[in-house]
Chain A
Amino acid sequence: MDQKNAGLNISIFFCQQIDPNQDVNRRALERELGNRIRFFPLPCSGRIDSLHLMRALESGADKVYVITCPEGACHYREGNMRARKRVAYTQGLIEEIGLEGERLELIMAPAGLPVNIDELARDLLSSEATTGPSPVRGKTA
């Protein structure tokens, strides 16, 4: 099976502060998985907005991750706390239309920055089986 067409569509919004070399590190995984994975680097996870998450799901993502700095280690003090609130709000919104809140997940990067976004993403991909394809994807409107 062509790996690029297998499995779920994943969108990853992440704080650039966790991996200064993210621009290079994520390329290999992007080439490997093609459209199946989409990275959205943010200057700070506090930049994330509910609308970004909704658009990602609407565009066909089965699962959306927001990766932030570790708790207490946000470069801009509390951006990761704001990201957590926005993810929680958006989970409530998608649950209102019958989607599982788990389709959105906030991950705090492990302490001891920097991390490699490629390795972190591969770890997340290996645990993706808990979420199935989104009902938004695959049905013709």
Chain B
Amino acid sequence: MITAERKPISEIKEMIAPYKKILVVGCGSCVAECASGGEKEVGLLASALRMDSKASGKDVEIKEMTLDRQCVYEFIDQLTDVVDQYDVILSLGCGAGVQAVAEVFPKVHIVPALNTTFIGQTKEAGLWIENCRGCGDCKLGFFAAVCPVTRCAKGLFNGPCGGSKTDRCEVDPDVPCAWQLIVSRLEDMGRLDLLCKVHPPADWSKQQGKGPRKIYREDQRS
């Protein structure tokens, strides 16, 4: 899941200030799960903005809409019939969603209401943690499904570093030591032999240095 957090309302207001008709558009996928951009969050933000404009005596129209996904054309197309009625779209999608909507409607100003943060999991109600860097070269099979690149503060492929105390990371005692988890889990599954493998440095060229990445699959194309 891609996580995000709402921008301060002052920043949002600055972006939409020139406009009179505003459509607040949410996304029912990742950002709904992390309670930042779903239908409810659209309602909260739109309500706050309407109250703010009314209290300021501004004549602004703010409507709400939530797509199932903002990053897929088939869902973005639901905006086609209404987008002409607005001066700006305030998107509560992730950065990918904002750009996907902008690509479909190149003449409409699309502005983000969220700061996209990381790929993570819902750890518990109200708590989301980063657990994937999208490095493009997944090694989880060697590390008992605990990513040392993301969850070890030092990003060690060949750990542990030896600095953990009572299962906690020495860099941040609130975080469990990723390598403690790796060793414990491999021990539980009888696969400590996987630790004998020495991993070369990560090939970061699969993540960065070549511009935006893409996945192309002929079998998925029409």
Binding site for B on A (CB under 8 A): 49-51, 54-55, 57-58, 93-94, 96-99, 134-136, 139-141
Q: Among B10, B40, B60, point to the contact of A141 (Cβ < 8 A).
A: B60
Which A residue sits closest to B9, measured CB to CB? A96
**Is B57 on the interface with A (CB-CB < 8 A)?**
yes
Q: Which of B23-31, B41-49, B78-86, B214-222 contacts A (4 or more CB under 8 A)?
A: B41-49
**Is B103 on the interface with A (CB-CB < 8 A)?**
no
Q: Do residues A97 and B43 form an inter-chain contact, with CB atoms below 8 A?
A: no
**Is B53 on the interface with A (CB-CB < 8 A)?**
yes
Q: Do residues A141 and B53 form an inter-chain contact, with CB atoms below 8 A?
A: yes
Q: Do residues B54 and A139 form an inter-chain contact, with CB atoms below 8 A?
A: yes
Docked CA distance A98–B55 (Å): 9
Chain A residues in 8 Å Cβ range of B48: 54, 93-94, 96-97
**Is B58 on the interface with A (CB-CB < 8 A)?**
yes
Binding site for A on B (CB under 8 A): 8-10, 40, 43-44, 47-55, 57-60
Q: Do residues B47 and A54 form an inter-chain contact, with CB atoms below 8 A?
A: yes
Chain B residues in 8 Å Cβ range of A57: 47, 51
Chain A residues in 8 Å Cβ range of B58: 141
Docked CA distance A13–B27 (Å): 29
- Label chain B's interface by main secondary structure: helix
Chain A residues in 8 Å Cβ range of B50: 58
CB-CB under 8 A for A99 and B55, given A58-B50, A141-B60: yes
Q: Do residues B47 and A141 form an inter-chain contact, with CB atoms below 8 A?
A: no
CB-CB under 8 A for A135 and B47, given A51-B40, A96-B8, A97-B9: no
Q: Among A49, A50, A51, A99, point to the contact of B51 (Cβ < 8 A).
A: A99
Docked CA distance A62–B52 (Å): 14
Smallest beta-carbon distance A113→chain B, Å: 28
CB-CB under 8 A for A50 and B8, given A136-B51, A136-B54: no
Q: Do residues A97 and B51 form an inter-chain contact, with CB atoms below 8 A?
A: yes
A–B Cβ pairs within 8 angstroms, 16 of them: A50-B44, A51-B40, A54-B43, A55-B47, A58-B51, A93-B48, A94-B48, A94-B51, A96-B10, A97-B55, A99-B51, A134-B55, A136-B54, A136-B55, A139-B54, A141-B53
Chain A residues in 8 Å Cβ range of B54: 135-136, 139, 141
Q: Do residues A51 and B44 form an inter-chain contact, with CB atoms below 8 A?
A: yes
CB-CB under 8 A for A93 and B55, given A58-B50, A141-B60: no
Known: A54-B43, A57-B51, A141-B53. 12 other contacts (CB 8 A): A50-B40, A50-B44, A93-B9, A94-B51, A96-B9, A96-B10, A97-B9, A98-B52, A99-B51, A135-B54, A139-B55, A139-B57
- The 6 A-B residue pairs whose C-beta atoms are closest, nearest first, are A135-B55, A97-B52, A54-B47, A96-B9, A136-B51, A141-B54
Docked CA distance A80–B191 (Å): 47
